Amino acid sequence: MPASSPDDQNDPPTPPPFPSHRRLLPWCARAGATRLPVWTGPALRDRPVRGVRTRPLGENRAVTQTPAPAVVVRGLHVRFGDVEAVAGVDLTAEAGQATALLGRNGAGKSTTMKVLAGVVPPTAGEVTVAGHDAATDALGVKRSVGYCPDVGGLVPRATPWEHLQLSARLRRMPAWEERGRDLLERFELGDVAHRVVGGFSHGMSRRLSVVLASLHDPAVLLLDEPFDGVDPLGVDATLEVVADARARGACVLLSTHLRDLALEACGEAVVLRGGNRVAAMQAGELTGEAYRALLD
């Protein structure tokens, strides 16, 4: 049996999964590569390179369109022991729409998001996400959504690349590496792709959580406080992910305290107070004055 096939001689060996661009070029030279492996390299946005993929997120990717409305919530109640966290929320969100969830601390935003993500069951009411009933088909809900929780969700001893690998494996995604690299680059996490996240700053962890939520192009994207502690470049990357999701027909729900960013990201706004929905309107109508009046 020959030591190597003709293909082996022509093809360079497989590169490490996420090499830094500095290590990649010597590797190609050593391997006698006649072609570069697919690699975007850091600072892609600032330094376009010939032959490097610059496809905008979302382009050429198949999307599972769900019939509108993608999210329906009717009379949602969530109780934790004696605490009524959500006390009668109604909400409808269409495919291709982004809706901001606003309200003071303890208003019930995160709890509503958790129900939409299929991680907390509704105590009462009707919740349908991408056609799946949250009370009876939590797994169907989980499969349809990408969820960035307000806190936690990351494994401190794993790296961003390992988080992506795990997420892709759980979702049985056959080809995800290029998408993963694109997202890490856009969120300026490419250089720390192999660093354990236990040492990440709060903003870095937030950015990685948005990356993980959007990796699989979910039909419903749920972002709970994605801007919290995030720098302006991270904010831009998050706005881009939201715009991309809307463009491919996904439904986005985004919880935040930052009214200005909510208006920038979303066309619709829902305001919660004391676990109740107190307003639903076009985001442009939510002036600072109107918002303050709704909070009091």
Ligand X SMILES: Nc1ncnc2c1ncn2[C@@H]1O[C@H](COP(=O)(O)OP(=O)(O)OP(=O)(O)O)[C@@H](O)[C@H]1O
Binding residues (CB under 6 A) for ligand X: these are 80, 83, 85, 103, 105-111, 150
Is the Cβ of residue 85 or residue 197 nearer to ligand X in the bound state? 85
How do beta strands 220-224 and 251-255 pair?
Answer: parallel
Q: How far apart are CA 202 and CA 198, in angstroms?
A: 10
Q: Based on CB atoms, which residue is closest to ligand X, 101 or 215?
A: 101
The minimum distance between CB 213 and ligand X, in angstroms, equals 17
Distance CA 211, CA 223 (A): 11
Query: How do 98-102 and 251-255 pair as beta strands?
Result: parallel
How near is the Cβ of 140 to ligand X at its closest, in Å? 23
CB of 211 to ligand X, least distance (A): 21
Minimum separation from the CB atom of position 272 to ligand X (A): 6
Which CB, 107 or 230, lies closer to ligand X? 107
In whole angstroms, what is the distance from residue 167 CA to residue 61 CA? 18
Cis amide prior to 69 (ω within 30 degrees)? yes
| 134 vs 164 by CB, closer to ligand X | 134
Q: How far is the CB of 125 from ligand X (least distance, A)?
A: 15
Residue 137 or 150: which CB sits closer to ligand X? 150
Cβ at position 124, least distance to ligand X in Å: 15
Nearest to 65 by CA among 91, 94, 95, 92: 95
CA distances from 106 to 21, 231, 247 (A): 45, 25, 32
Based on CB atoms, which residue is closest to ligand X, 59 or 82?
A: 82
Residue with Cβ nearer ligand X (111 or 159)? 111
Question: Min. distance of Cβ 293 from ligand X in angstroms?
Answer: 18
